[in-house]
A and B are shown apart, each in its own frame.
Chain A
């Protein structure tokens, strides 16, 4: 009976959502108000070709600052709960074949993440996606080589330093925006360059770099403090 009622409620909710979303006319979505402004003004106002990146890190950069604050709070909470002063005695990692394969593969993962971060204003991607790829390198180290390898190469203190550097870079670009344009996180027109080239789009590139470092180091800290005592028993 309970399952039946739940099914009925779910079916009604799904139907209502479907009808509501279907009844929005297409012309309303693309041709009026803010979306038309974004489509027309994104190249002239910011110099970025990737509209999503321009909205995230220029028009709505303050929201992105809030999101990175959320990540900072999450990392602080998880580290507070999970990390203790224990020596991580991890497994010896996987077999030699896997280790050698990922020894060849991991630099290219790093290269791809740096490419995604630095080309955030030109091609799909940006600071967040590239930063998560940076965190994947820590996952590879922890699982394939054992978490003591990750501790010896990139200790948590260095990860914390990288994360703080990213956050300060973001805030610093915002304060430079106050000095040059008069508004917090404003995009100074002197930095804008030719749209379509790599050193263009003004403050979007340093903000992408800051968000990438912050997200990558933060997620790496989260995963490391979770795996730290998991692998100890093996």
Chain B
């Protein structure tokens, strides 16, 4: 276990706990993207560049965009719902 790995693995654990602990969904999704980036660095240390490439592109790129689109969709739905109740 290299020094970098000994630093990154506990960091990964802390980020994973933070992802679950956040109440705000947007903060949680952004922390999940940071999780994917750190995980990709660990994959590169373990000499798996294929998996690291897939993890960076999908985990921290595509999935973040999809999750944020879904979150904004949920928020607009909730706003219209509240407005319908008031009227």
Binding site for B on A (CB under 8 A): 50, 52-53, 116, 124-126, 128-129, 132-133, 135-136, 139, 143, 219, 222-223, 226-227, 229-230, 233
Contact = CB atoms under 8 A, between A and B. Distances in A.
Contacts of A226: 66, 69-70, 73
B49 A136 contact: no
B12 to A, nearest CB: 15
B57 A230 contact: no
B62 A116 contact: no
Given A139-B62, A230-B76, A129 B69 contact: no
A136 B64 CA distance: 11
Interface in B45-87: 49-50, 52-54, 57-58, 61-62, 65-66, 69-70, 72-73, 76
Contacts of A233: 76
Q: Give the residue among A126, A129, A139 with the most B Cβ atoms within 10 A.
A: A129
**Which 6 A-B pairs have CB atoms at the shortest separation, nearest pair first?**
A124-B49, A52-B50, A132-B57, A129-B53, A139-B65, A230-B73
Contacts of B66: 222-223, 226
B73 A133 contact: no
Nearest to B71: A230
Contacts of B61: 132, 136, 139
Contacts of B72: 230
Contacts of B49: 124
Nearest to A140: B65
A126 B50 contact: yes
A223 B64 CA distance: 11
A93 to B, nearest CB: 15
Contacts of B53: 116, 124-125, 129
Contacts of B69: 223, 226-227, 230
A128 B73 contact: no
A143 B64 CA distance: 13
Nearest to A143: B65
Nearest to B56: A129
B48 to A, nearest CB: 8
Contacts of B62: 132, 135-136, 139, 219, 223
B40 to A, nearest CB: 12
Q: Residue among A50, A139, A230 with the most chain B CB within 10 A? A: A230
A166 B70 CA distance: 28
A149 B87 CA distance: 35
A223 B62 CA distance: 9
A231 to B, nearest CB: 8
